[in-house]
Amino acid sequence: MTGETATCRVIHGGDAHQGKQGVGYFAGVSAENVGAQALCMHVIRIPPGGRAKAHLHAEHESIIYVLSGAAETWFGDQLQERALTEAGDFLYIPAGLPHMPVNVSQTEPCVAVVARSDPNEQESLVLLPDLEAPLERCG
């Protein structure tokens, strides 16, 4: 935002886009839309029975706050660990940790606020298709 006067910006919800990890993101704050310098925040929606692609954020930390529904986040070098989060729970994900959120409900979406310490929310995202191969073989 070089040469511009610093000011507050309102981002109206509703505009959605598909993230690289395969889940829906709703309008939030990032370098791209407000010139954020050190963070971003979005709303994510995982459909019933859905999951994101296995991935990591190479250079930034993430904090998830679940608004509704529940998700089990698989994490670790081989996605061998599990953390269940429900409405009202926070989840911290350190930089570089492979993870994959899975909606545990077959009928309700899981909706969460995602905050990251990188204003370019998709830039340091690394997809991990090798971790998905065993999942696809299991059906």
Please tell me the predicted confidence (pLDDT) of residue 1.
Answer: 47
> What's the chain's length in residues?
139
CATH-assigned architecture of domain 16-137: Sandwich (2.60)
Displacement of CA 74 from its chain's centroid (Å): 13
Cα gap 66→27, rounded to integer Å: 17
Displacement of CA 101 from its chain's centroid (Å): 8
Structure tokens at 97: 């940790």
Please tell me the predicted confidence (pLDDT) of residue 29.
Answer: 87
Q: How confident is the model at residue 136 (pLDDT cuts 50, 70, 90)?
A: low
Structure tokens at 131: 């971790």
pTM of the model: 0.85
Please tell me the predicted confidence (pLDDT) of residue 69.
Answer: 98
Q: Are 73 and 101 in contact (CB under 8 A)?
A: yes
Q: 55-110 pLDDT, tens per residue?
A: 999 889 999 999 999 999 999 999 999 999 999 999 999 999 999 999 999 999 99
Please tell me the predicted confidence (pLDDT) of residue 25.
Answer: 65
Q: How confident is the prediction for the chain on average, in pLDDT?
A: 87
Q: In what order do the strands lie in the sheet with 90-93?
A: 16-18, 24-29, 40-46, 110-116, 62-68, 90-93
